[in-house]
């Protein structure tokens, strides 16, 4: 049986009242989500929240919630929806207090239900950027990153499982937002700067008011 997850009541009123734009950033493991988000932050001043980073911080904090997460992440599976959404909500509220003018939610949603729950409880995403990269390239990039990242999931066994999770759980997210007309599919096989050029062309269409 799955362990019970402790949940706190989170008051989302300040976040909803701020009504700032929210962008979901989706792509396979190693597709360059974090790399592109760093560049988007530098140009547009949006707040970057990576669900993976929030989970890793929770593990490092030594909290009871964190203790349940290590095994899941090292197995390449997805962490339960409620755990991730609570962490994202808490981080968004802190950022809103500091005057955030919008969010890049990186690595979220990983399954359609995550997107639906986020959007029903918080707010609709303005756009979903999907970084489209072939599996062979993802593996090469992740094995390259493994040399310096220190990430417990940057090893070939976990990479294979994460790729499987992407195909089975996250690929439907791409179809879901495409059918809603919110998906921006970006071929992310090129250089970091070329990809960023395409990102900018798409964000400039919707961020004139930021
Ligand atoms: N366009 C690119 N060409 C070559 N290497 C890249 C490119 N974009 C990112 N990388 C490299 O690939 C690796 C993975 O990139 P990054 O960490 O941004 O991916 P990610 O999508 O955030 O991965 P994860 O889902 O595992 O967090 C890093 O070592 C990064 O430097
Ligand atoms: N949105 C998420 N839902 C469930 N599990 C998640 C989510 N974001 C990250 N995770 C878990 C599972 C991933 O393999 C690891 C690492 O995430 P990453 O975005 O690759 O840093 O964390
Ligand atoms: Mg990342």
Strand ranges across the sheet with 22-27: 47-50, 103-106, 22-27, 127-132, 183-187
Q: Is 7 labeled as catalytic in the residue annotation?
A: no
Q: What are the tens digits of pLDDT across the range 44-62?
A: 999 999 999 999 999 999 9
Two tokens, residue 201: 């062309």
Q: Please give the pLDDT value at position 1.
A: 47
Q: What are the tens digits of pLDDT across the range 100-157?
A: 999 999 999 999 999 999 999 999 999 999 999 999 999 999 999 999 999 999 999 9
Q: Where are the domains of the chain?
A: 14-199
Ligand nearest to the CA of 152: 2
Please give the model's pTM, rounded to 2 decimal places: 0.96
Mutual orientation of helices 192-206 and 33-44 as an angle, nearest 10°?
A: 50
pLDDT of residue 8 exceeding 80 = no
Which residue's CA lies nearest to atom 10 of ligand 2? 52
Q: Is 33 labeled as catalytic in the residue annotation?
A: yes
pLDDT of residue 208 exceeding 90 = no
Residues forming a β-bridge with 108: 25
pLDDT of residue 31 exceeding 70 = yes
pLDDT of residue 5 exceeding 70 = no
Which residue's CA lies nearest to atom 13 of ligand 2? 73
Ligand 2 center–CA 169 separation, angstroms: 12
Query: Which of the four pLDDT bands, split at 50, 70 and 90, describes residue 198?
Result: very high
User: Would the CB of 202 count as within 6 Å of ligand 1?
Assistant: no
Mean pLDDT computed over 21-37: 98
Q: Please give the pLDDT value at position 64.
A: 83
Ligand 1 center–CA 32 separation, angstroms: 4
Q: Please give the pLDDT value at position 67.
A: 81
**Chain center to CA of 91:** 13
Topology of 14-199 in CATH?
Rossmann fold (3.40.50)
35 annotated as ligand-binding: yes
């Amino acid at each position: 049986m799955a362990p019970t997850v402790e949940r706190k009541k989170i008051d989302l009123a300040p976040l909803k009242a701020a009504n700032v734009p929210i962008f979901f950033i989706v792509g396979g493991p190693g597709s360059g989500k974090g790399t592109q988000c760093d560049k988007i932050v530098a140009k547009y001043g949006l707040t970057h929240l990576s669900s993976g980073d929030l989970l890793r911080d929770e593990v490092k904090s030594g909290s009871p919630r964190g203790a349940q997460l290590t095994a899941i992440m090292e197995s390449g599976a997805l962490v339960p929806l409620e755990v991730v959404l609570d962490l994202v909500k808490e981080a968004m509220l802190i950022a809103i207090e500091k005057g955030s003018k919008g969010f890049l939610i990186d690595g979220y949603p990983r399954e359609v239900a995550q997107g639906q729950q986020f959007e029903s409880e918080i707010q609709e995403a303005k756009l979903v950027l999907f970084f489209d990269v072939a599996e062979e390239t993802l593996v090469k990039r992740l094995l390259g990153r493994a040399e310096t990242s220190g990430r417990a999931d940057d090893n070939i066994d976990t990479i294979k499982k994460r790729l499987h999770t992407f195909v089975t759980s996250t690929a439907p997210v791409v179809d879901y937002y495409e059918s809603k007309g919110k998906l921006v599919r970006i071929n992310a096989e090129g250089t970091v700067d070329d990809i960023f050029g395409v990102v900018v062309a798409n964000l400039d269409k919707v961020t004139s008011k930021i």
